[in-house]
A and B are shown apart, each in its own frame.
Chain A
């Protein structure tokens, strides 16, 4: 009986067959026609002040932004990654765009522009609370502002704060002041510093002591306006003994020009707290034939396990963007803290990804796990770049890294750069890496059993990514599978 049970479990878990055949084109490429308020392109101190003023920010935050801006002027764009792109003209970007009717911010969903609600409906994001049977609280960020946060009341009951970042600045200034920049300082790197100067909105989460957040929290980011950068800032704090699981999704319209997305995410886990952060990124990847357009996704994500027994887990499924440049990292400061990174990165056609993680072990008996799956198809270039650092005092630190690459076709590339820096002899490090290709013999075999080439590829790719999908909540795992399937269409001819 137990044996049968386990077989059935495996079947139900893995037989999530994807029923709907999705169209070959980027599905989220529509533009929403709403009245936008956009500030003119260009970046100087005035721009920073304008953004701050529009958000009616306190003086300390404006000062912080300006410090970042001045720092940024002294910095140079990094060029150490494997990605290649045309020079970005930072003066040609507009740093703030907002739907006009949202100028004062919506008080409830009734006040949200129906066009916007329609947009989110198209994206499959149910914002209307009555439809929220899935039990996921959503914060939706449209261009530069957060337009709606659902399930607020229920979360308030549990003491969880989940609101737009700009609201948190006013409603919870002490928390924001205490934690903003505490993990990713404004001096951190070129793109994070730029973000610190011009960030517009994002999500803020605080889970109080001993509280297990009663539902998944989710944010959807969408860039709509043309020639606009999106610079969101997310800050999540899990106080002692708390638990929170957070998901973000991203889409953008199809545009001929490249758009910059430079976000910063900071996670803080206190004693015995757990933060799970999952991303399903599907920004517009650019034209599949010419490589024109698409999002430059230059993101800094970092978490700190500040005190003992805390845990931070990153899961990412990166299928979109012309260029992805991100390394969600964990600083394992407390003793017995745990850091995890699970990643699927897919590059098809002209997409490039340079992604990985950094695990910094400071506390004793700390443990980190890195599982990455890179899939390259078309002319896609996929790079894993990871660093594991064991500091002097980190007795008995353990790391397990597994980096697998899957190649589809012969014009793509996979690259792996694992950096290991061990300064404590008691450390245990394990690293495994593999590269495989989807072979003609596998496709032939599947075809001979009546399985189409497309289904065979998606089946093999899903099998390849299984260990990572397992970390995602069910409905997102299904979405991730669908995304991979769409992103891979036409990759095997």
Chain B
């Protein structure tokens, strides 16, 4: 589903990603781990299409299509979803309105009939329950005054509502307490399906305890320096990223 080949990315002439190769197949969940400043979030934003990043080399294929030729909106309509580490606040626009606009934009793109307010409401209520959010959120402005945990749950809610094919979750667990991590992980598990893929970007292996990743990659200084199974996460937790750094050097 997602195929990244030799991806080089810079921001303001500063190279961040220095040759990433990654293949994520349908049905899979991959975790990308790494210390701060390793380029994890950059990778997420480049997949989403954020313009400030300059792709110097390489390509990203999404279902065989050149993702880099599509703009942010097109990618979203085609089923690419990103959960933000710091989602934007949109004052004055309530979550219900925002979500309905998004759902209908995507439905329209797929040639499906748009949802009216009544249908949408019963649809979103069901999803709210899945991430333990109550209906009062629908009336609140998007992310306005939301706590860190509320923001992350809101991102997961949107993932469940928008029905994407590829979900990239950027530091979805950062700043969450254990209960919130469970809720988020639970949402991701509900999302997983044979025809969908998930990329979880995280600093810590905590959240992975509640998930079942097919592969774990370690990103350091713009390169994937190690890939492995679930055990790699445990190893990292025990030995820290320094351990890998040494092995790279050696």
Partner-B contacts on A (CB < 8 A): 3-4, 6-8, 10-12, 14-15, 17, 436, 439, 441-442, 444-453, 455, 459-460, 462-464, 466
* B93–A463 CB distance below 8 A: yes
Say yes or no: A15 contacts B96, CB within 8 Å: yes
Give the chain A neighbours of B90 by CB distance below 8 A: 442, 445-446, 459-460, 463
Size class of B's contact patch? 35 or more
Cβ-defined contact, A11 with B117, below 8 A: yes
Could you mark each residue 64-92 of chain B with 1 if its beta carbon is under 8 Å from any beta carbon of chain A, else 0?
00000001110111000110100111111
Instruction: Say whether B135 contacts A459, CB under 8 Å.
Output: no
Known: A11-B100, A441-B88, A448-B82. 16 other contacts (CB 8 A): A6-B139, A15-B96, A15-B100, A442-B88, A445-B88, A447-B72, A448-B76, A450-B105, A450-B162, A451-B73, A451-B102, A460-B90, A460-B92, A462-B93, A463-B90, A463-B94
Which residue of chain A has the shortest Cβ distance to B88 in the bound complex? A445
Inter-chain contact B77/A450, CB cutoff 8 Å: yes
A453 pairs with B135, CB closer than 8 A? no
User: 8 A–B contact pairs at CB < 8 A?
Assistant: A8-B117, A10-B96, A15-B97, A445-B84, A447-B49, A448-B75, A450-B162, A463-B93
Cα A357 to Cα B185 with chains together (Å)? 53
A459: chain B residues at CB < 8 Å are: 90, 93, 97-98, 101
Within 8 Å CB of A6, what residues of B? 139
With the chains together, A259 CA to B100 CA distance in Å?
A: 43
Q: How far is the CA of A27 from the CA of B158 in the complex (A)?
A: 37
| Contact present for B96 and A464 (CB under 8 Å) | no
B76 contacts A7, CB within 8 Å?
no
Q: Which residue of B lies closest to A459 (CB)?
A: B93
Pick from A7, A436, A463: contact of B96, CB below 8 A: A7
| A449 cross-chain contacts in B, Cβ below 8 A | 76, 98, 101-102, 105, 158, 162
Q: Is the CB of B87 within 8 A of A447?
A: no
Inter-chain contact A450/B88, CB cutoff 8 Å: no
**Is B138 part of the contact surface with A, judged by Cβ < 8 Å?**
yes
Which chain A residue shows the least CB distance to B92? Answer: A463
Q: Closest CB-CB distance, B160 to chain A, in whole Å?
A: 13
* A455 and chain B: residue at smallest CB distance: B101
Question: Chain A residues near B138 (CB, 8 Å)?
Answer: 7, 10-11
- B105–A455 touching, CB < 8 Å: yes
Question: In the complex the two chains form, is A436's CB within 8 Å of B91's CB?
Answer: yes
Question: Chain A's nearest CB lies how many Å from the CB of B53?
Answer: 12
Q: Is the CB of B92 within 8 A of A448?
A: no
CB contact under 8 A between A453 and B101, given known A7-B138, A436-B91 = no
Q: Are B73 and A3 in contact (CB under 8 A)?
A: no
Inter-subunit contact B92/A466 (CB<8 Å): yes
Collect the chain A residues with CB atoms within 8 Å of residue B97's CB: 11, 14-15, 459, 463
B88–A439 touching, CB < 8 Å = yes
Chain B residues in 8 Å Cβ range of A447: 49, 71-73, 76
Secondary structure at the B interface, as helix, strand, loop or mixed, is: helix
The dominant DSSP class at the A interface is helix
Kindly state whether residue B226 has any CB partner on chain A within 8 Å: no
Check if B135 sits within 8 Å of A3, measured CB to CB. Answer: yes
Q: Is B147's beta carbon under 8 Å from chain A?
A: no
A448 to B50: give the CA distance in the assembly, Å: 9
- Which of B72, B77, B81: most chain A CB closer than 10 A? B72
| Closest CB in chain A relative to B51 CB, distance in Å | 8
Closest 10 CB pairs of A and B: A463-B92, A445-B88, A463-B93, A449-B102, A447-B72, A450-B105, A450-B76, A447-B73, A441-B88, A11-B117
Query: Nearest-CB distance from B29 to chain A (Å)?
Result: 20
Q: How far is the CA of A448 from the CA of B84 in the complex (A)?
A: 10
**What B residues does A10 contact at CB under 8 A?**
94, 96, 138-139
Complex Cα gap A10–B117 (Å): 10
Q: How far is the CB of A474 from chain B (nearest CB, A)?
A: 15
Q: Cβ of B48 < 8 Å from any Cβ of A? A: yes
For B121, what are the chain A residues with a Cβ–Cβ distance below 8 Å? 7-8, 11
Which chain A residues lie closer than 8 Å to B31 at the CB level? Answer: none
Give CA–CA (A436, B89) in the complex, Å.
12
- A17 / chain B contacts, CB cutoff of 8 Å: 100-101, 104
Cβ–Cβ < 8 Å partners of A460 in chain B: 90, 92-93
Cβ contact of A450, chosen from B94, B109, B118, B135, cutoff 8 A: B109
Residue B208 lies at the interface, judged by CB distance under 8 Å to chain A: no
**In whole Å, how far is B110's beta carbon from the nearest beta carbon of chain A?**
10
Contacts of B93 in A (CB 8 A): 459-460, 462-463
Q: Does residue B220 face the partner (Cβ distance < 8 Å to A)?
A: no
Q: By the criterion CB–CB under 8 Å, are B92 and A464 in contact?
A: yes
Nearest A residue (CB) for B107: A450
A450 to B109, alpha carbons, bound, how many Å? Answer: 9
Q: How far is the CB of A435 from chain B (nearest CB, A)?
A: 13
Complex Cα spacing A452 to B104, Å = 12
For residue B133, CB closer than 8 A to chain A, the reply is no
B219 within 8 A of A: no
Query: Which of chain B's residues has its CB closest to A11's CB?
Result: B117
B224 within 8 Å of A by Cβ? Answer: no
Name the A residues within 8 Å of B73 (CB-CB). 447-448, 450-453
Which residues of the other chain, A, contact B82 by a CB distance below 8 angstroms? Answer: 448
Interface membership of B106, Cβ < 8 A: yes
Indicate which residue in A3, A439, A446, A463 contacts B141 across the interface (CB closer than 8 Å). A463
